[in-house]
Structure 1
Amino acid sequence: MPILQPQRRKSKMSIVEHIEKNFGKISKGWSFSEDAHPYQIVECRDGSVEGVVSFCTLGLSNVGLKSAVSPQIIFHELLLSVDQHEVPKNAVAIVKQFADDALASNYALLNNQLVQREGVVFENHLFSAVWVKPPVFFGDESFSHEGVGRDDVSCIFAWLVPIFDSELGYIKDNGADAFEALLENSSVDVFSLSRKSVVD
């Protein structure tokens, strides 16, 4: 199927090349449109993190979205990454929902933003929200792709991290830095949907 590629100006690699270098070779893709804004979600395998499958929007960054905390206009793609043995049936649907919500609201997802859902994120798993972060486990170079959109602005990648209700409450009460410290001091695999909460 044809790959929808956002406008590129000065970057040495296309956004497709950036995605495949960091998150894995594109093996599948699905096409969508929200409010006349077409985009795709691509499935990536065999990326820089072994044993992880990623689902990434492609084309969402063609639309500049508002920031809720500053006048900045943000161009971003969304990323969901899970253990290759635990890929949920609704992985694409979840990414699509967040992408459609961003387009409908005209607001980008921001670093450390918490998005709570009604019910659970995935069937048979008790995650109740997502925490938005840069894709830190894929390396600093994965965080953004230069030269996408108008005026050569950067496209950033927003990683959707599924979290439990107890973890959501901990972040609200203690802050994201404190939660990151908990994760760093634990042996939890954040890509595993069968992981346990790091909050007692």
Structure 2
Amino acid sequence: MNKFINFLENHLGEIECGWSKNEDDEELPFQVVKYGNGPFEGTVTYSTLGLSNFPFVSYMSEKEIHQELIFVADSSIGDINIPSLLQQVGLMIFQKNRALLRGDVIGPYGSLFNNSKLEALYSTMPVYFPDDFHSYSVNEDITIVMTWLIPITSKEALFVEENGWSSFEDKLEDLDPDLIDFNRESII
């Protein structure tokens, strides 16, 4: 695990703090940690840590997948809702024993942040980071996949459902919205 933590800190900065219990003070099977850096100046990154200790099943291929969840935010907003969001999604994966795949949408469940139109989370590759951050090889049998959760609007979630993740990611690439801006407008 130390080599994996070094990998994370080499890409994301030193771990500043972490959460191992939920809001009810119950111990979780994994942690959520906050790093000193994000992919751009003025951003920070959060991740699960220890979720990858458990193999989860792909509903597409039945393959076992080890993964950690990544979340990027503007450093000025503080920790609002982010640790608990990662805890909830991590627990959902853990309880269902189902890996999050590229293009999966969680929600919509209502506004994720105060005064925000973002109501769902979209699962994809961490494209704001270098390619060598997308996965970590533990050994020849186990690779940990880094899964980026992006807050999206309910219209965007519906678009993914109706048109598929590839069409949505094409739109993201064409329009290049600021995916770290929690007050952004829908691209749909």
Unaligned 5+ runs, structure 1? 7-13
Q: Distance in 2 between matches of 1:126 and 1:87?
A: 19
1:141-160 → structure 2 map (5 Å cutoff): 141-147=132-138, 152-160=141-149
Aligned to 1:174: 163
What amino acid does structure 2 have at the position aligned with 1:195? R
Q: For structure 1, which segment, 184-193 or 163-172, has the greater mean C-alpha deviation from structure 2 after superposition?
A: 184-193
Alpha carbons 2:11, 2:133 under 8 Å: kept: yes
Determine if the alignment matches structure 1 residue 197 to structure 2 residue 186: yes
Aligned to 1:115: 106
TM-score normalised to the size of structure 1? Answer: 0.84
What amino acid does structure 1 have at the position aligned with 2:73? V
Which structure's relative contact order is higher, taking Cα pairs within 8 Å and 6+ residues apart? Answer: 1
Alpha carbons 1:32, 1:38 under 8 Å: kept: no
Shift of residue 165, structure 1, vs aligned partner: 0.8
1:1-200 → structure 2 map (5 Å cutoff): 5=1, 14-32=3-21, 38-87=29-78, 89-147=80-138, 152-199=141-188
Relative to structure 1, the CA distance from residue 115 to residue 177 in structure 2 (aligned partners, 3 Å threshold; closer, same or farther) is same
Alpha carbons 1:23, 1:138 under 8 Å: kept: no
Shift of residue 187, structure 1, vs aligned partner: 4.4
What amino acid does structure 1 have at the position aligned with 2:165? A
Q: For structure 1, which segment, 50-59 or 167-176, has the greater mean C-alpha deviation from structure 2 after superposition?
A: 167-176
Unaligned 5+ runs, structure 2? none
What amino acid does structure 2 have at the position aligned with 1:115? I
